[in-house]
Amino acid sequence: DAKTTQPTSMDCAEGRAANLPCNHSTISGNEYVYWYRQIHSQGPQYIIHGLKNNETNEMASLIITEDRKSSTLILPHATLRDTAVYYCIVNNQGGKLIFGQGTELSVKP
Amino acid sequence: SAVISQKPSRDICQRGTSLTIQCQVDSQVTMMFWYRQQPGQSLTLIATANQGSEATYESGFVIDKFPISRPNLTFSTLTVSNMSPEDSSIYLCSAYGTSWNEQFFGPGTRLTVL
């Protein structure tokens, strides 16, 4: 599985959009980009995933560059409850997830 | 979707003892996994729990230390054997079905070894 690189931490003002970047320059053609988050003292929670096209669901949007070497997770209107560690994971849908260090997002009032 | 429960939710154990953690899924799943999360760290995959056969361990993890069972499609156990303080971590199980988009995680078992 390809390795990902994310900033260690980010701050975001409540109500503003949170844009979390991820680099995955060694991604291969059959690998998907997954995003999970872990709120303190809970198990990780799936957010969204994509292969080539941009994706949107009720939680977030995922923007994948045309060369697929990087992506951005967008939380359109961040709330205090979105404070968590966000993990970008590249996976070929085999189930096994290899977690990096993730980005610790702090949403501030 | 799936709801995953783990028992115990937390425990404090003495050095040299063993603890078995149970993971129960509310539906039949294709794959189950065990992860470890050391204090302040990310999750590290320990092994894939295979139904009806021996678990598949990741580099750095061995069966003698972390024996795993998966007797059916909804249940798995992880034993942490001969514990030392370095085993103090949160242990999480997860489940994945081939028709799913996502992997579901249990709430974790917080283990402290004295």
pLDDT tens track, chain B, 114 positions: 789 999 999 999 999 999 999 999 999 998 999 999 999 999 999 999 998 889 999 999 999 999 999 999 999 999 999 999 999 999 999 999 877 888 999 999 999 999
pLDDT digits (tens, 9 = 90+) for A40-79: 989 999 999 999 989 999 999 999 999 999 999 999 999 9
Chain B environment of A42 (Cβ under 8 Å): 107-108
**pLDDT score of A96:** 85
Instruction: Answer whether B102 sits within 8 Å of A49, measured CB to CB.
Output: yes
Which tokens belong to B15?
């050095």
A69 close contact with B: CB closer than 8 A: no
Which tokens belong to B81?
């054997």
- Residue A51 has a CB neighbour count (10 Å cut-off) of 14
Chain A environment of B105 (Cβ under 8 Å): 43-45
- If we measure between CA atoms, which residue out of A98, A72, A104 comes closest to residue A85? A104
What is the DSSP track for A31-46? PEEEEEEE-TTS--EE
Q: Is the peptide bond prior to B8 cis by the omega test (within 30 degrees of 0)?
A: yes
Strand, coil or helix: B86 = helix
- If we measure between CA atoms, which residue out of B97, B48, B43, B85 comes closest to residue B70? B48
Q: Which of A99, A101, A103 to mutate to test the interface with B (most CBs of B within 10 A)?
A: A99
Dist CA A5 CA A20 (whole Å): 11
Q: Which residue of B has its CA nearest to A39?
A: B107
Pairing verdict, β A70-75 and A61-64: antiparallel
Q: Which residue of B has its CA nearest to A34?
A: B102
**pLDDT score of B69:** 96
**Chain A nearest C-alpha distance from B31 (Å):** 7
Dist CA B8 CA A62 (whole Å): 36
Residue B33 CA to chain centroid, in angstroms? 6
- Residue B28 has a CB neighbour count (10 Å cut-off) of 12
A40 close contact with B: CB closer than 8 A: no
Q: What letters, b where the CB count within 10 A reaches 16 and e where it falls short, cover B7-21?
A: eeeeeebeeeeebeb
Instruction: Answer whether B42 sits within 8 Å of A99, measured CB to CB.
Output: yes
Which of B48, B103, B108 is nearest residue A46 as measured by Cβ atoms?
A: B103
Largest CA distance in chain A: 41
- If we measure between CA atoms, which residue out of B30, B38, B25, B23 comes closest to residue B93? B23
Instruction: Answer whether A100 sits within 8 Å of B30, measured CB to CB.
Output: no
Residues in chain A, how many?
Answer: 109
Q: Which residue of A has its CA nearest to B49?
A: A96
